[in-house]
Structure 1
Amino acid sequence: MPAIVHFEVRFNPDYRADAAKYLSETLAATRAWPGNLGIEALVDDADPCHFLVVETWATTQDHDDYAAWRQTPEGKSALHEVLAGPPSKQVYSETLPLDLQPSLD
């Protein structure tokens, strides 16, 4: 089962105009990482400084390896310098079956 990662960031308003540049530069390494199946950044309709980056990974281990690399000096990005606060991340790798038929008992 693929892993879906939600990475939420809120840009400092002073850097909002350059958000696409900062995200593109940072996420280029994410796209290139083995096991990354896709990535997109969504803008919150109610807050243009709030973004949800949605990443799809072949496996949770692929994402874990990538996340560990981001903690190294080689993997560190400058994104934290333009954010209004720390990012948050959620990883989803299990699905809940929704096609179950209700019991008629």
Structure 2
Amino acid sequence: MTTTVLLDLHIDPAALDRIADILSETLTATRAWPGNLGLEAIVDDADPAHVIIVEQWSTTADHDAYAQWRLTPEGRSGLGDIVTEAPVKTIYSRTIPLSL
């Protein structure tokens, strides 16, 4: 069963001119991590400093290994330097079957 991770970020408005470069570097490394199936960054229409990263993973364990790597000096990204509050991460790993 795949896992979806939402990472809710609030960017310092003074850093908006740098966000594309920082996200590009950060998300390139994320995409290359084993088990990552894809991701995208979406921006709040009403607040360009509010960004959500939507990640798809093969398993929760793949994401957990990635998250642990991000806590190391080698895995550190520049996102921590431009956020105004702690990111909020939500992990979803179940799909409710729907009859449409």
Q: TM-score range by the shorter chain?
A: over 0.9
Q: Distance in 2 between matches of 1:12 and 1:70?
A: 21
| 2:78 counterpart residue number | 78
Paired residues for 1:7-22 under 5 Å: 7-22=7-22
Provide the residue aligned with 2:47 in structure 1. 47
In the alignment, the residues of structure 1 paired with residue 25 and residue 97 of structure 2 have an alpha-carbon distance, to the nearest angstrom, of 37
In the TM superposition, what whole-angstrom CA distance separates every residue of 1:66-99 from its partner, at most 9, and x where no partner exists?
0011111111112111111111100100111222
The CA distance in 2 between the partners of 1:60 and 1:99, in whole Å, is: 26
Give ranges in structure 2 of 5+ residues lacking alignment: none
Separation in structure 2 between the aligned mates of residue 24 and residue 74 of structure 1, nearest angstrom: 17
Unmatched segments (≥5 aa) in structure 1: 101-105
Secondary structure in structure 2 of the residue aligned to 1:56:
strand
Task: Could you list the structure 1 runs, at least 4 aligned residues long, displaced by more than 4 angstroms after superposition.
Answer: none
TM-score, normalised via structure 2 length = 0.94
Amino acid at match of 2:47: D
In the alignment, the residues of structure 2 paired with residue 2 and residue 51 of structure 1 have an alpha-carbon distance, to the nearest angstrom, of 23
Report the AA paired with residue 43 of structure 2: V
Aligned counterpart, 2:93 = 93
Aligned residue runs from structure 1 range 31-46, under 5 A: 31-46=31-46
Bigger radius of gyration = 1
Which whole-Å CA distance do the structure 1 matches of 2:22 and 2:93 have between them?
A: 27
Q: 1:67 maps to what in 2?
A: 67
Report SS of the residue matched to 2:43.
strand
Question: Number of residue pairs matched?
Answer: 100
User: Percent of aligned pairs with the same residue?
Assistant: 54
Please, what TM-score do these two structures have when normalized by structure 1? 0.90
